[in-house]
Structure 1
């Protein structure tokens, strides 16, 4: 422990104050700070906003092309989340809401990765509303298996209209439902 640290502790100052000059070196609108905000964001609208700030400030950056791509992908995710048929909320995109091994999938899903959304749905299987929300999100992103999984869920829940909607969507996306061997669909 340095002499400065030993002097600061009895006065009640925290070690965080000792590190403050280093933290101040990175201004909030510096390229590194904006890049960190962009890379840490997991909510699609936050990614779009962070990308806009970054591109406004650093349009010629070597990272600008990648930032534009992230923005486009996140914009798709934000549009899907705004649809009435998708019941997935900001809280589902919080890193604390996901298992530690699924945090990378949160970012991918925010960028419109439908396979990541399906994996997150399966992680949330015990939380039915969140499970359905992730499947709805994946289905609206174009995942045919998520659409069919929703159809099966709604069929089991005795909601034939919703089951038919999602089954039709799955078929429209290219899914070939398995043949039933009996007259009762399960």
Structure 2
């Protein structure tokens, strides 16, 4: 028997399904290799390092803001506490306490009748320095001249002029009361009419 060798012409070979399939696969793989770095789903090491650095800078800023807020809140809380406690010496002010360091209980000694409790112990532990000084004087009806004939006529003895004389004699005295402890200080002004 005669063996037949079947040869495909080159033109026909390139169109055969088997060659086309192999040819398509190799082209597809080449395209895939070229575009692997362009169409990837993962991050490179540099991108990860840059993002971690950005996050670290932002986290440092947020941490600093948080600490500042916490310190401000603690300061305001301590200041509010001292203002509440300083209201005791302000309400029970007396010139005999001037330039003295007293406990809060010393200001309330006559008003606080309970013998033993935690509030009394707390008041005995809290010490404040008390200062009261004359800040300013103001005479609203004074004209500024001391020895004039007009002032002498004002204080003559007539019945009509006595009301004016008493009104001209009013003086406002502004006292500054300062309460302080080791860390805080507050002050108020007290007005006296003389």
Alignment TM class, shorter chain as reference? under 0.3
TM-score w.r.t. the length of structure 2 is: 0.21
Higher helix share: 1
Higher strand share: 2
Greater relative contact order (CA < 8 Å, ≥ 6 in sequence): 2
